[in-house]
Amino acid sequence: MKYIPIVCFLLLLSLQSIAQRDPDRLFYAQKVEKFRKMKSTGATLTVTGGILVVVGISMIINGTKTTNYGGSSQSTVNSSAETGVLVYLLGVGSLGAGIPLWIVGAHQQGKYERKFENVSVGFNLTPQKTGLTLTYRF
């Protein structure tokens, strides 16, 4: 009979903690998804930027023409070289935005995945010499 209040208290505490656990898991799941999208966007921008840089450099090289007249040389630039400069600058911008997004997204995703996995509620009732011990892990 003297254990009924303790059992009721533990039951009430466990129901309250289970109700609080689900919003935490939902919050961490949303954060994991947000940073997964950030990481994939950063990876896409980085790969696309790298390709654009290579294409832009090749367009610049192929768009300039150097002709030699005896002892002097003359360089001419056509429109593909000008387009190559724009493609190159777009690629550098994509790399500049993609690399930080990829790094931050991957780091934060891992952090929130660990938090998502560690959200658990457990009670440890172990008999001690002085009574019962209640353990709450979060």
pLDDT in tens, 37-72: 999 999 999 999 999 999 999 999 888 777 777 767
Is residue 19 predicted with pLDDT exceeding 50? no
Q: Sorting pLDDT into bands at 50, 70 and 90, what band is 113?
A: confident
Are the C-beta atoms of residues 123 and 10 closer than 8 Å to each other?
Answer: yes
pTM above 0.95, yes or no: no
Pick the more confident residue, 117 or 98.
98
Are the C-beta atoms of residues 75 and 65 closer than 8 Å to each other?
Answer: yes
Burial class of residue 19 (count of CB atoms within 10 Å of its CB; 0-12, 13-18, 19+) = exposed
Pick the more confident residue, 103 or 133.
103
Tell me the range of 41-45, 72-76, 130-134 where mean pLDDT is highest: 41-45
Is residue 91 predicted with pLDDT exceeding 50? yes
Are the C-beta atoms of residues 8 and 85 closer than 8 Å to each other?
Answer: no
User: Which pair of structure tokens corresponds to residue 80?
Assistant: 């593909």
Are the C-beta atoms of residues 91 and 55 closer than 8 Å to each other?
Answer: yes
Output the pLDDT for position 36. 94
